[in-house]
Structure 1
Amino acid sequence: MNENKDIKNNEEIKKEKIVENKEAMKKMSIFIAILIVIGSCFGLYWLAYGRKYVETENAYVNSSQNVVTSQVAGRIKGVFVENTQEVEKGQLIAVIDDTDYKIALENAGADLGKAVRVYSNLFSNVGQVEDEIISRESQLRKARTDFSMDESSYKAGLISKLQYETSKNNLQMAIASLNQSKKILANAKIQVESSSIYNHPDVQKAIAAYKNAYVNLMRTKVYAPESGKVVKKSVFLGQQVNPSQELLTIINLKNIWVDANLKETHMRKIKVGDFVKLKSDVNEKIYRGYIQGISAGTGSALSLIPAQNATGNWIKIVQRIPVRIVFDEKSLNENGSVPIGSSMIVKIDVDKINKSIIPYKKEESTLYKIDETKMNEEIDKIIKSNIGK
């Protein structure tokens, strides 16, 4: 009886194990099937969609930071902007006390007038020397006549040798004086004939000094070189500033781009002109853009202190290569600008490319050009009022 019971129990245990094994196999099969489905879906996703894109969160908004500096030294007597304020290109943002520069301009004008008068005297010097030559010629004729008479008298024994030698010396002195005056006249004519008033060295030097004083006076007014927002303002009323001292910075948020740092293993797919979707962390809006350029070096190579890999404990690290992405202007106008330094999620479509050339924007300003027409008019006025005097 006991043996039959044990046999029966063993058979039941075997049946339970078989059932458990079947259930385990079933679960394993389901798990493997799920993995296959997931793998297939991922594979299909990668083939149909994923392989077309390169994505990174290591991307930040950037822009030109226009640092406004002082061009002359002086004390600030007017400041018309503040941090976060919007300014327009050409707007007056600060004024430096111009008292000393006005005085310097007046002194330069006086020196120019003096140089013009000295030049004008060259003409009168020519006339004076010509008159002097006429006088010297007359003296020479008299000296020759006297010497001729004294020579005859000396031979006849009527005058002493001393009187004869004196007459002879007077003749030689008259000849030397006339030759000297002729040389002076020739030099004076060369100075007059070889130059006009505008290319005479002394007048040119005075004109250059006047222009320098004029330009320095104009530079006491500081204008915004670009439209944008004011940041890092460090100029205040009464502050003494020096040339090249930073006053503030202006950032043009309409001229921004994204610097995306991509893994070097992804760069084989990246091309200039690739279409890019940009998601801002600031406003979570989606922007459109294009790759404008690829950096010539990795971030580590272009850093202030490049990595030194010629060591025994070198470990390979996947490098990042900066890529410049420009915003589509229409997209930027629709969604609004974002602050520089803010993060972006970048998704590059390596199959969709903008074949048209994406030009780099050129920045230039006419604010630092002086109105030379007005300046030259002032110079002409000074010259005309002093010439011939």
Structure 2
Amino acid sequence: MADDDAKKDDNKAGGKPDDRDRRPRWPILAAIVVLAIFIVVVLAIIFIPTSRVWTDDAYVQVHYASIAPRISGQISAIGVDDNDVVPAGRELVQLDDRDQLAAVHLAEAQLARDTAQLADRLANVDRQPSIIAQQDSQIAAIKARMIIATANQRRYATLAATGAGSQQDRQQADSQLAELQAELDGARAAAQAARHQLDVLKAQSEAARATLRADHAQLDQAQLNLSYTRIPAPVDGTIAQRSVQVGDYVGPGTTLMTVVPLDRIYIIANYREVALRHVLPGQHVRIHVDAYDIDLDGIVQGIPPSSGAVYSPIPPNNATGNFTKIVQRLPVKIEVSPGQPLARLLRAGFSVETTIETGLADVVGRQRGSDRDVTARP
């Protein structure tokens, strides 16, 4: 062992290289090259503009219809279940309609009664001119009798003054003339009352017409309430979230189920604000659906007017002085292009990836030459 150690010492002393000095250096060079390439790629991604804008913060959305009654009542029938495909107008739920039927019958009876009352009022209006004419004829008759009574009164007064006639005859002539004058005044008052009665009857007729219009409105409302007992599907779609059963008592606005129109789905893609520099409405979008590993085509519908933070329950307030600059995301709405059979596989809430083909559009330049918002939906 001592001899071997002496030989190793002699080799070192003689200048022979150690095994560690002969270790290859190409792994270090390769690592440097890979690191340099990585840095170049990262810098290129950051600083070199690209015509394709990608995000995985995107999902499928749809404006679904919530089915709710407009009146209260007990559910008597349900014609659908979850995941059923229904056309617009199909009856989904039926409420017990006996109360509403009774209200319709009552409104119809009131309408018939008030219609008869209006006919009676109109008949009285039509009859009143004849009564007025009758009163005027009585006045004319009394006036004719007064002509004779006046002449007799003058005649008997002259005879009584000359002694040719008795005072009793003169007094009877005066009394008869006074009675006719009173009868004439009464006839004139009756004629005036008959004319005023015509105005009263006309007012009563107008009131009866107003009552009749109210009856029509009440009947229409009763018929509407009766129609509300049958709840149809407002749009074509698929039933979801059914939450009621036959026999349940529900009130106005209670959500019974939802109808999801799957042919009207769209994509909400939350892009960083700095990624929208070249995005314009109408640009083509490639939509990758994670669930089925398929690609679909879409179109940018428009750039939203505000970021999601604006509508948050507690919006940011940078005026307090505690300001931290954060890149915001804007929910870009993307419409799925029609005529794609695979689009029927989409469901609301699916996660997708979207890539917008911007073509490096000059958004700023277009806005300078336009008097409208070029990023809004045309």
TM range (shorter): 0.7 to 0.9
The answer as to 2:317 corresponding to 1:308 is yes
Mapped contact 2:73–2:251 kept (Cα < 8 A) = yes
Letter of the 1:340 partner, please give it: A
For residues 199-238 of structure 1, what are the structure 2 equivalents within 5 Å?
200-238=209-247
Mapped contact 1:275–1:352 kept (Cα < 8 A) = no
Letter of the 1:258 partner, please give it: I
Once the two structures are superposed, residues 14-43 of structure 1 have per-residue CA deviations (whole angstroms, 9 ceiling, x without a partner) of x559x84x8676554443334455566778
| TM-score normalised by L of structure 2 | 0.76
The answer as to 2:189 corresponding to 1:176 is yes
Does the C-alpha gap of structure 1 residues 350 and 11 become closer, same or farther in structure 2, counting only changes over 3 Å? farther
Does the C-alpha gap of structure 1 residues 6 and 124 become closer, same or farther in structure 2, counting only changes over 3 Å? closer
The answer as to 2:364 corresponding to 1:351 is no
Q: Distance in 2 between matches of 1:262 and 1:293?
A: 12
Letter of the 2:33 partner, please give it: A
Deviation at 1:203, TM superposition (A): 3.1
The answer as to 2:300 corresponding to 1:268 is no
Letter of the 1:229 partner, please give it: T
Does the C-alpha gap of structure 1 residues 246 and 166 become closer, same or farther in structure 2, counting only changes over 3 Å? farther
Once the two structures are superposed, residues 94-119 of structure 1 have per-residue CA deviations (whole angstroms, 9 ceiling, x without a partner) of 11111122222222222222232233
Mapped contact 2:262–2:344 kept (Cα < 8 A) = no
For residues 84-163 of structure 1, what are the structure 2 equivalents within 5 Å?
84-144=83-143, 152-153=152-153, 156=157, 157-159=170-172
Q: Distance in 2 between matches of 1:170 and 1:347?
A: 104
Does the C-alpha gap of structure 1 residues 28 and 173 become closer, same or farther in structure 2, counting only changes over 3 Å? same
Q: Secondary structure at the match of 1:89?
A: coil
Gaps of 5+ in 1: 354-358, 361-389
Once the two structures are superposed, residues 245-294 of structure 1 have per-residue CA deviations (whole angstroms, 9 ceiling, x without a partner) of 32221111121111011111111122222222222222222222121111
Higher alpha-carbon deviation: 220-229 or 81-90: 81-90
Once the two structures are superposed, residues 103-136 of structure 1 have per-residue CA deviations (whole angstroms, 9 ceiling, x without a partner) of 2222222222223223322442145323423442
Deviation at 1:164, TM superposition (A): 6.0
1:339 corresponds to? 347
Q: Distance in 1 between matches of 2:280 and 2:126?
A: 80
Q: Distance in 1 between matches of 2:88 and 2:268?
A: 26
Q: Distance in 2 between matches of 1:335 and 1:133?
A: 82
Of structures 1 and 2, the larger Rg is shown by 2
The answer as to 2:54 corresponding to 1:55 is yes
Higher alpha-carbon deviation: 116-125 or 67-76: 116-125
Q: Distance in 2 between matches of 1:37 and 1:261?
A: 30
The equivalent position to 1:240 in structure 2, one of 218, 243, 249, is: 249
Q: Distance in 2 between matches of 1:36 and 1:57?
A: 28
Deviation at 1:85, TM superposition (A): 2.4
The answer as to 2:86 corresponding to 1:73 is no
Mapped contact 2:50–2:360 kept (Cα < 8 A) = no
Gaps of 5+ in 2: 1-7, 158-169, 362-375
Letter of the 2:32 partner, please give it: I
The answer as to 2:258 corresponding to 1:249 is yes
Q: Distance in 2 between matches of 1:116 and 1:190?
A: 16
Does the C-alpha gap of structure 1 residues 38 and 245 become closer, same or farther in structure 2, counting only changes over 3 Å? closer
Deviation at 1:59, TM superposition (A): 0.7
Q: Distance in 2 between matches of 1:220 and 1:26?
A: 83
Q: Secondary structure at the match of 1:336?
A: helix
Mapped contact 1:285–1:335 kept (Cα < 8 A) = no
Deviation at 1:243, TM superposition (A): 2.8
Q: Distance in 2 between matches of 1:352 and 1:26?
A: 41
Q: Distance in 2 between matches of 1:141 and 1:41?
A: 119
Mapped contact 1:61–1:259 kept (Cα < 8 A) = yes
Once the two structures are superposed, residues 335-376 of structure 1 have per-residue CA deviations (whole angstroms, 9 ceiling, x without a partner) of 5322211211222222299xxxxx99xxxxxxxxxxxxxxxx
Letter of the 2:336 partner, please give it: F
Q: Secondary structure at the match of 1:235?
A: coil
Q: Distance in 1 between matches of 2:123 and 2:314?
A: 70
Does the C-alpha gap of structure 1 residues 284 and 168 become closer, same or farther in structure 2, counting only changes over 3 Å? same
Aligned residues: 342
Letter of the 1:307 partner, please give it: P
Q: Distance in 1 between matches of 2:277 and 2:122?
A: 79
Q: Secondary structure at the match of 1:341?
A: coil
Q: Distance in 2 between matches of 1:327 and 1:263?
A: 21
Does the C-alpha gap of structure 1 residues 289 and 352 become closer, same or farther in structure 2, counting only changes over 3 Å? farther
Percentage of identical aligned residues: 24
Higher alpha-carbon deviation: 233-242 or 75-84: 233-242
The equivalent position to 2:15 in structure 1, one of 12, 16, 36, is: 12
